Amino acid sequence: MTPPRPMDSASARPSAFSRADRRVVFLLVLGYSSAYLGRLNMGASILPMSGALGWSNETLGSVVSCFFVAYACGQLASGVLAHFFDPFWSFGLALAGSALCNLAVPGAPGPAAMRAVWFANGALQSLLWCSLVKAMAQRVSERAMPRAIVCVCATLPIGSVAAFGAAAAGAPSGSWQGAFYLAAAALGVSAALWFRLYRFPEPPRGAPAARAAARSYPRATRFAGPAGPGAAGPGWRPVAALVGTAALACGACGFLRDGLSTWAPKVLRDAFGLPPSISILLT
């Protein structure tokens, strides 16, 4: 009698995504992809907007800059606010508010009103990332986390292709409003699905015991390094220098990336005479 063959490891391994994991990751990817669509569409539409509205580069650049100023300032506060608000509310309301901002852009009566609307959009979208991270930590299982991170990383190319594709589609006719209406629809649907399908996380089992264990755990009062307990720590200056250098590098990278994606279509049209739709698609 021949022994049974061992089961193939790929078929024996359970799926990394459970049904609950799949639902949460889908909602997060849909929502954050829509958020990218609702923030990159302004830069993608600068070329048709400049022709239709007759605004100068400085005026359009100030509108785009309002988003990034609000987003950068809001990121500092959103990390603190994420501790106090459940992602059910912070993520969903930010999506809904961003949808209203995108819906209001085509009807803005002038540059000042458009700056205010786009500033509000940046402030609302600054709440999304920390809420997304908290939702993943609460609702995605440890086994599914690596694949969930890969899925979330795909939101930038998805949103970029949607934003620049919508802007390119309306460029031949000089219509720029479609990219904002599309973003408003995508964000609105994402918010509705979030409120319908996302659920409050259940309180973790054994939470009182975990808190009691944390209270009873002795706190280290001195740095225990290679020289042994009681030795002096490395100090804060090297850490501050490293963090400051990394922050400057990230900021410079962000400015270059956003500046290139915003103004590349106009440069391609003015310098090489390419049609607006081709310039947007090449960007």
Bridge partner residues of 224 (DSSP): 229
pLDDT tens across 131-171, in order? 999 999 999 999 999 999 999 999 999 999 999 999 888 87
255 CB contacts (<8 Å, ≥6 apart)? none
Bridge partner residues of 225 (DSSP): 228
Residue 95 half-sphere exposure toward CB, CA atoms < 13 A: 28
9 residue type, one letter: S
Q: What string of pLDDT tens digits covers the 283 residues of the chain?
A: 455 554 444 444 455 778 889 999 999 999 999 999 999 999 888 888 888 888 888 898 889 889 988 998 888 888 888 888 899 999 999 999 999 999 999 999 999 999 999 999 999 999 999 999 999 999 999 999 999 999 999 999 999 999 999 988 887 887 899 999 999 999 999 999 999 999 765 544 444 444 444 444 444 444 444 555 555 555 677 877 777 777 677 666 655 555 556 666 666 666 656 676 666 666 6
Query: Which has the closest alpha carbon to 180: 40, 53, 47?
Result: 40
Per the CB < 8 A criterion, the answer to whether 95 and 78 are in contact is no
